[in-house]
Structure 1
Amino acid sequence: MIRGIDPTAQTVLGTLLTWGLTAAGAACVFILNSSQRKVLDGSLGFAAGVMLAASYWSLLKPSLEIATGSHGEQWCFIPTSIGIVAGAFFVYIVDVVIPENNTVRILMETNPKKDDDHTRRMQDASLQWKRMLMLIIAITMHNIPEGMAVGVGFGAANSTDAATFASARNLAIGIGMQNFPEGLAVSLPLRAAGFSKKMSFWYGQLSGAVEPIFGVIGCLLVTYAQVILSYALAFAAGAMIYVVVDDIIPESQQCGNGRIASWSTIVGFIVMMTLDVTLG
């Protein structure tokens, strides 16, 4: 990200960073053992902490400041609350339409290569493909609000004291940090399910490809429709919070690594908070 250039260009650079870190996470499949679930759960916990901190300091705080200017201090919570609910409801609808069904855990626990019966192996291969597709779609859909959040952040930059280039940059970095384990969350289970390392990496990085597209959409929306700025920032925050609470944290707790995941969440929160406070 380069200070002073067009917000749309900033968004493209920011979302290319988040996509690149998704790919970097997916690339870990080349060096990690596919059975290392502790690494995945710890990474997911860290990502949850990063997203929770980013949702406040980079999105909700500027949303409240903007709403204060238009609605006053007493009623500033109204547009922000509406945005949070709308963002959470958006992700909820995505989950209803495309349920994940614990695909990560199932893929990590099954391996079609170990079945000697040809017919059963073919059935398992078909089932594995469906599960893989569900996993990729689910994480890809979850990347849509994250990409939009980056775009909204850059589109809103310099509109208030809290909505600055630095906060937008920090948000992009924070989302990139949490995208790293998301790439791993796709590639590692696919490898455990018997897919090649190259294919596992390809689909892992592909899950982040939607972020530049929806980042630009989010940026254009707030750039040309300033009236929705407070709502848009809160929408992005609500979507991120819902993803954390409904998806990332439960997923990190399923395989007996709850304490590792929980402490990783605390560490992730502190890291992102420090990033926002010191660089914001």
Structure 2
Amino acid sequence: MEEIIDYLSGINPILAAFYAAMFTWAVTALGASLVFFIKTMNRNFLDASLGFTGGVMVAASIWSLLIPAIDMSEGEGFMQVVPAIVGFLLGAGFLFALDKSLPHFHVNFKQVEGVKSPWQKTTLLILAITLHNIPEGLAVGVLFGAVAVGIPDASIGGAVALALGIGLQNFPEGIAVAMPLRRMGISRRKSFFYGQLSAIVEPASAVLGAVAVGIFAPMLPYALSFAAGAMIFVVVEEVIPEAQQNKNSDLATLGFIIGFIVMMTLDVVLG
């Protein structure tokens, strides 16, 4: 791990953000590849994995994004937290607008959300998972961008920790796309293709986040909390409700706790 951190420290931070996001995409593809080897996914495992995903995203939002955003903000007392509040609200509002305007399908809910669309459920399912991945890629890119502009509270280790945590929770996301597509009658090859495709937005959004921070360095606290607000919205709106749809709430809750602990530990140890 130290070798990876040293390598990323020595290259362009935007390129480092791209490499880190490519890792998160690759883990998604790895999860989707299970469609070639198994016929059905155990529901208990999937719900626990969704809980784990939620735990990682919440911990990442707090430890990797919100706390650094507050620490690097100027002012004292309430004024110090204003950028985090504003950015958080903008991030949540951005995902709320996408959620209401972009049609997408949730397997567990068995319903289509967003505006009415003639698109097939397969397309809508891919869009649902893609919505999850936008803030994740932004979060990775913003942290690497913070390193690029020399923010004292930002470190390559912290950015790597975030990418590693997001990568871990992307594994069940790949499963969550590929396996339902297979059950809908899509071939294994196409199910895998669409499963990994849902995370291809992460490298693009990571690069966008890193570039934006490099251009608008004073906006960094807002950018970090923006990514946090977007991630928390996804967790509360979709990840946790989907994990709780079946009779496995205890497993989903345990998965959430484990995911939170794993991400918190990664951030403290590597950051």
Given the two structures, how large is their TM-score scaled by the length of structure 1?
A: 0.87
Give CA deviations for 1:211-269 in whole Å, capped at 9, x if unaligned: 11111111010011111100000000110111011110101111221111110000111
Q: What letter corresponds to residue 133 of structure 1 in structure 2?
A: T
Alpha-carbon RMSD across the aligned residues, in angstroms, is: 2.0
Q: Which residue of 1 aligns with 2:30?
A: 24
CA distance 1:99–1:249, change in 2 (3 Å): farther
Q: Is the 8 A contact 1:104 1:135 kept in 2?
A: no
Whole-angstrom CA distance in 2 between matches of 1:102 and 1:144:
17
Is 1:275 aligned with 2:266? yes
Is 1:255 aligned with 2:238? no
For the residue of structure 2 that corresponds to 1:75, the secondary structure is helix
Whole-angstrom CA distance in 1 between matches of 2:227 and 2:67:
12
Whole-angstrom CA distance in 1 between matches of 2:127 and 2:90:
21
Unmatched segments (≥5 aa) in structure 1: 108-126
Whole-angstrom CA distance in 2 between matches of 1:153 and 1:93:
24
Is 1:8 aligned with 2:34? no
2:51 equivalent among 40, 45, 68: 45
CA distance 1:262–1:251, change in 2 (3 Å): same
Q: Is the 8 A contact 1:11 1:215 kept in 2?
A: yes
Unmatched segments (≥5 aa) in structure 2: 1-6, 112-116
CA distance 1:35–1:17, change in 2 (3 Å): closer
- Report the structure number with the largest CA radius of gyration: 1
Is 1:191 aligned with 2:215? no
Q: Which residue of 2 aligns with 1:118?
A: none
Q: Is the 8 A contact 2:57 2:232 kept in 1?
A: yes
Whole-angstrom CA distance in 2 between matches of 1:27 and 1:105:
24
Whole-angstrom CA distance in 1 between matches of 2:166 and 2:267:
12
Whole-angstrom CA distance in 1 between matches of 2:50 and 2:252:
7
2:140 equivalent among 140, 143, 150: 150
Cα shift at 1:21: 0.8
Cα shift at 1:162: 3.0
Give CA deviations for 1:6-26 in whole Å, capped at 9, x if unaligned: 111111101100110110111
Percent identical residues: 47
Cα shift at 1:138: 1.6
CA distance 1:106–1:31, change in 2 (3 Å): farther
Cα shift at 1:33: 3.2
Q: What letter corresponds to residue 156 of structure 1 in structure 2?
A: A
Q: Is the 8 A contact 1:103 1:132 kept in 2?
A: no
CA distance 1:43–1:5, change in 2 (3 Å): same
Q: Is the 8 A contact 1:128 1:193 kept in 2?
A: no
Given the two structures, how large is their TM-score scaled by the length of structure 2?
A: 0.90
